[in-house]
Amino acid sequence: MISCVINTIALAKDADRISSGGRPYSERAWLLKNVILPWYHSLRVFDEIIVVGEYEEGPYHRYVPCPQTRHNETDPLVMRDAGFRATSGEKDDWILFQHDDHLWSPDNRGYTGEDVPVCSPSRRDADGPLADGGQEYVNGHVLVMRRWVAEQVPWVSAGFVHAWDVGYTKRLAEQGIP
């Protein structure tokens, strides 16, 4: 089984504020509804798609409400844990976690074929690779992990700091998870 958890504030009351990408979060509602969710549904890769945060129900996903509490980049940690709890499956199943402004492709596996429990795909745009954690830390924007990892290392264990992807990588390392 493969689950997908997408965190978003695209329909929050304050979604008109500008994201780090220079665009309002509210524009991501269109991206989710018209691009990401239909694409993921058409791939027939995911057994379940969960959208968690501040959004709405739709034909391609299940919605899990989880309002912001900090109104900053750490809210996705709580949202991802809530989205994870809404998934089903066995301990070795995979879960894709991502922000609402990314589009995962099955061609971007982010690993060399080894059976590792956490895979951190590279980020790309039309001009090529984007900054991501590389060998230093897992990519907080999008990653794929085994279900047992999300159970053992909750997202909120990263700490409510700006560089939570670095913190999450440290929690994984403390648990011996590559």
CA distance 83 to 50: 6
Q: Total domain count for the chain?
A: 1
Angle at 42 between CA 100 and CA 24, to 5 degrees: 20
Domain limits for position 36: 2-174
Structure-derived torsion over alpha carbons of residues 55, 58, 60, 62, reported in degrees to the nearest 10: 60
Of 47, 87, 49, 80, nearest to 66 (Cα)? 80
Give just the sign of the alpha carbon dihedral 86, 91, 96, 97. positive
Distances (CA, A) of 120 to 37, 95, 128: 21, 12, 17
CATH number at residue 18: 3.90.550
- DSSP element (H, E) containing 81: helix 75-86
Where are any strands of DSSP class E within 17-119? 48-53, 62-65, 94-99, 118-119
Higher pLDDT, 51 or 126: 51
pLDDT of residue 178: 87
pLDDT above 70 as % of the chain: 88
Q: Are 28 and 73 a contacting pair, CB within 8 Å?
A: no
Is residue 121 predicted with pLDDT exceeding 80?
A: no
Mean pLDDT, the chain, integer: 89
Mean pLDDT along residues 1-17: 96
